[in-house]
Structure 1
């Protein structure tokens, strides 16, 4: 009902007063706490439209107070806006501006676009009246930026904003800039049937045509504005229209007519606003501020009482904090003692680590020396074995077989020593990385050819799974070869006769993968984490009694890491294993 009253035209102001009383009575029965605010505002609007600004301001001030009591910011903003409009109507723009600024601050906190646009519009009108044109431009441009999209969607109307912008240009005497905005509003209000807005548009057009000395057009729009004002039964609109007609005839030099319209304007305007109004309004304002001061005093008294309670609470909190402080201090002493004990333990661990490092260094040195020195006897065995083998025609078959075993054992011993040295030194070896670009698919096929004799002894099918497409990698050919040799050798060793071993090369984005897959005995799942450790021993054994010292995979891991790659293994007992090496391209 309240919202419906806000949409009433001026010819229904008696209905506004009736519904204001009705809302007040019904709200009391329903215990609806907003009823008083709504009723007081409607009564203010009734008095405002009746040009009784003294009573209007009294009701608006009561509505503002009631809105603040129930903490209803939307109605508080409405009351502030109403007060500003009323003060503007009685030619007190500075007071109007004060109320509009309060309203603007609340609107910005609220953040609702329609409310912000309305507030910016009203403030802009005041700034225009006060000849602060830059501020007015700024506010109107803000309103247009906020509402342009919503205006196209029909959710808000920017007609007031465009009208105010036209008035601003008019005040700045930029008549050609103002004219399109007045025309735009005339068309808009003709379409939507808003007679009050249509009156404003016609009056503005009359005024601007007067300034442009296009008097025929000015007469047309001034007279049609007067017809609307009388139709709306609005004395204030009639008075403003008489003022424009007086200006029109003055510009034409028809001073008698101008004088007649000035008298009509004066008689209406002074009837609307007489001198006693100012005194009464000032008294109302003072009573309102006195009420505010009383409310502030009560609030201050409540604050004093709360502060007393708060002081007691703070005393209790201070005592509590003191107890906590003592506990923290005790905890700190305990923690400091524990830290000292921990420091002693750490020092002991550091000493033990240093001792272990020394022992490890001595162990590595001993292994290196022993392994190096063992090279000589194995090399001697190899040399003399080859000398004797050159005279094989003098040996019996049994002696020839023994000689082959001696040479084979010498080679195995020499290789074992080399592997021990590879594992124990800090880098892969004395080998210096020599990077070159080579086709890894072709390289894999070469490796398969090298190991086929070894595989054929066990009737194992050794295959390279590679398409004809070349796949290049930038790496060290020798070290990649050692990786493949170790993996293929292990695969053949741990694969039973008549089975298969594969090596495949594949592209994986920024890596190239080397996979060696076999149908061997497999590796226990719990042994996989230790597979690449030094001297690791697993339960799986080579299928034809081949020798295995547990060093090969440790060396492979070291070489892979040297080449900035990764190695992994998947395996199932009785099915086989897959070793995957990923190297960067």
Structure 2
């Protein structure tokens, strides 16, 4: 699919030119290439203007420029049949005046258009021609662009090794120029992310999509920002991070509608349908599928393929005719007439065949779509059954495991009560047994919390309580744990009472987890703070430490299930990767938000924001 990125819309009033020359026409053409999709009417206007002025100035490149702009106008209007017709004419005109730079542009335009209508094989033919010309020309920006586009085709054709080779070439060529701001490698990084996505290597793809999101957020490239958001939504769907997927899918749809791009809007509906299908919300998925289908079929349908194929045949016929003009003086008129009749007959036969093929393709496509829909329904039913069985198994196993761990704790405490008969080494071993029993029981509870769709069997109980006093109580409870590591634990709050209406038990679980983690990851002799802040419409709870810190690259995964980070507790304490995912779920359950800021060697700050 072809996207024209917004580099800054600049409308030039051509009527203000006192006297137009060829340099001004070329400058106007270059500016038109930077227009965004909402300026397509201007592109068509200036295409006609360039054609008219070029004829008066006898500017031989004017026809090439005008034809290409007309093709871009039709392309942005999703009229691919007309766009390809203009691109073919532009290619022919460029070859006639021997202008290789415009010939490469026309080849690239044709390849992108064929890729948009789901014909990657045809797109590959044009890109290979373009690549040979770019390599002969030796201009690095042109080479990077060609390698990028050809890599997309290879990815579409599942030739992943060829795609990776070309993308790595593009990175090596443009790395220094990208740092200098002379070229942009954002498309290359996006394509590398898509390549890893196709190979189902989602964790390797994610950094590339995040890189482009940050880049386009800063440079105001809204088309690029839309691509980054859609890619992030898709990858979070595959990773089953549905909250993040929903956020980026919805924002991609809003941006597509703002850009007034039907193709982007159609793709946004498609990703939303996939999101809700993965969550077994089939009614919503069906609604988005209908929206996608109504847009996608309006943009492209089987009749378009038929017309474009006939158009391509006419172009090749015109090229052959141009080559044969040199021989026309050496053959007799009757031979020419016979050859023309043969060409007409052949063209009619081809058109008839294409019409028949188009009809069969349309019928087969409808049948395959029906079969696919039936298969999806069956697979979703099976997945639902498997998910139910998995949850049941987890509940049974966890319940059964609770008994032996409880038994270990009971007998361990019995033996500890009679500790006078045990040696110091035996007492130490017994303490470890009891501690292991407690840890096992707590781990089972956490696994159940993570896997269940609700927060255990806890029934929400709202009450109004003083959060300042609550924080002081929490800090007092954790002082023995902090004293073991000589950590100074502080509670910070304003002098006045800070009341909140919430579930005291769930708020307590949040604070317990955050304080426990802060102490675990802080070295001996350092400090940990818990503070309460009363803002206008919300109250924030902050837990700050002087601990080991967290790598910036690991922050996006911090609240995921079973996530493991490179940072480790300072005194060998245990960490199973479940606590923060449970905290996030509890925070969302009471309509709040949680975030983290961290720096290696300095410490971390966890902030929970709760509505009043």
TM-score by length of 2: 0.49
Task: Return the alpha-carbon distance in structure 1 between the equivalents of residues 100 and 141 of structure 2.
Answer: 15
Query: Displacement, 1:302?
Result: 9.4
Q: Note if 1:118 corresponds to 2:111.
A: no
Task: Say if 2:56 is the partner of 1:29.
Answer: yes
What does residue 232 of structure 1 align with?
259
Larger radius of gyration between Structure 1 and Structure 2: 1
1:192 aligns with 2:219: yes
Equivalent of residue 258 in structure 1, options 282, 285, 289: 285
Question: How far apart in 2 are the matches of 1:271 and 1:72?
Answer: 36
Structure 1 residue aligned with 2:209:
182
1:154 aligned partner: 181
C-alpha distance in 2 between matches for 1:302 and 1:3: 42
CA positional deviation for 1:142: 0.4
Shift of the 195–299 alpha-carbon distance from structure 1 to 2, 3 Å rule, reads farther
The CA deviation string for residues 91-118 of structure 1, in whole angstroms up to 9 with x for no partner, is 0000000011000000001110000000
* 1:45 CA drift (Å): 0.5
Give the corresponding residue for 2:107: 80
Which of residues 35, 50, 62 is equivalent to 2:77? 50
Residue 217 (1) aligns with residue 233 (2): no
Which residue of structure 2 aligns with residue 283 of structure 1?
A: 310
Is 1:133 equivalent to 2:160 in the alignment? Answer: yes
Identify the match of residue 127 of structure 2 among 92, 95, 100.
100
In the aligned structure 2, how far is the partner of 1:300 from the partner of 1:68?
20
> Per-residue CA shift, 1:359-394, capped at 9, x if unaligned?
xxxxxxxxxxxxxxxxxxxxxxxxxxxxxxxxxxxx
- Give runs of aligned pairs for residues 295-444 of structure 1, distance below 5 A: 295-299=322-326
Deviation at 1:303, TM superposition (A): 12
Distance 1:32 1:302 in 2: 31
Q: What is the CA distance between 1:144 and its match in structure 2?
A: 0.4
Separation (CA, whole Å) in 1 of partners of 2:323 and 2:134? 24
3-state SS, counterpart of residue 157 of structure 1 = coil
In 1, Cα distance between equivalents of 2:115 and 2:46? 26
Deviations 1:381-435 (A, max 9, x none): xxxxxxxxxxxxxxxxxxxxxxxxxxxxxxxxxxxxxxxxxxxxxxxxxxxxxxx
Q: CA deviation at 1:37?
A: 0.4
- Distance, in Å, in 1 between the alignment partners of 2:140 and 2:276 is 43
* Alpha-carbon distance, 1:279 to partner: 1.4
| Residues 485-530 of structure 1: per-residue CA shift (max 9 Å, x gap) | xxxxxxxxxxxxxxxxxxxxxxxxxxxxxxxxxxxxxxxxxxxxxx
The residue number in structure 2 matching 1:66 is 93
- Judged with a 3 Å threshold, the aligned counterparts in structure 2 of structure 1 residues 302 and 82 are, in CA distance, closer, same or farther, namely farther
SS in 2 for 1:155: coil
Deviation digits for residues 268-300 of structure 1, max 9, x if unmatched? 000001221111111111111011111222356
Cα distance change on mapping 1:243 and 1:293 into 2, 3 Å: same
For 2:69 and 2:329, how far apart are their aligned partners in 1?
34
**1:541-580 → structure 2 map (5 Å cutoff):** none
Tell me, in whole angstroms, the C-alpha distance in 2 between the residues paired with 1:303 and 1:123: 42
Taking the aligned partners of 1:140 and 1:300, their CA distance within structure 2 comes to 45
Distance 1:224 1:158 in 2: 24
Question: In structure 1, how many angstroms separate the alpha carbons of the residues matched to 2:259 and 2:129?
Answer: 32
The number of residue pairs the alignment matches comes to: 304
Task: Tell me, yes or no, if structure 1 residue 8 matches structure 2 residue 35.
Answer: yes
For residues 471-510 of structure 1, the aligned pairs below 5 Å read none
State the match for 2:296 in structure 1. Answer: 269
User: Which aligned pairs between 1:515-534 and structure 2 lie closer than 5 A?
Assistant: none
Superposition CA RMSD, Å: 1.3
- State the alpha-carbon separation in 2 of the partners of residues 19 and 170 from structure 1: 40
Q: How many angstroms apart in 1 are the aligned matches of 2:327 and 2:241? A: 63
Question: Matches of 1:287 and 1:11 in 2, distance apart?
Answer: 32
Distance 2:326 2:195 in 1: 44
Matches of 2:174 and 2:328 in 1, distance apart? Answer: 45
Match of 2:116 in 1: 89
1:44-82 per-position Cα deviation (integer Å, ceiling 9, x unaligned): 000000000010000000000000000000000001100
Distance in 1 separating the partners of 2:208 and 2:50: 39
Matched, 1:243 2:281: no
Partners of 1:170 and 1:269 in 2: CA distance: 23
Query: Normalising by structure 1, what TM-score?
Result: 0.51
Indicate whether 1:39 and 2:70 are aligned. Answer: no
Question: Is residue 132 of structure 2 the alignment partner of residue 109 of structure 1?
Answer: no
Provide structure 2 residue ranges, at least 5 long, that are not aligned to the other structure: 1-27, 332-612
Q: For structure 1, which runs of at least 5 residues remain unmatched after alignment?
A: 305-585
Distance 1:287 1:20 in 2: 24
Alignment match, 1:498: none
Q: Deviations over 1:183-242 (max 9, x none)?
A: 000111111111000000000000000011000000000011001100110000000000
Measured at CA, do residues 265 and 70 of structure 1 come closer, stay the same or move farther in structure 2, by a change above 3 Å? same
Q: What is the distance in 2 between the residues matched to 1:177 and 1:298? A: 56
Misfit runs of 4+, over 3 Å: 299-304
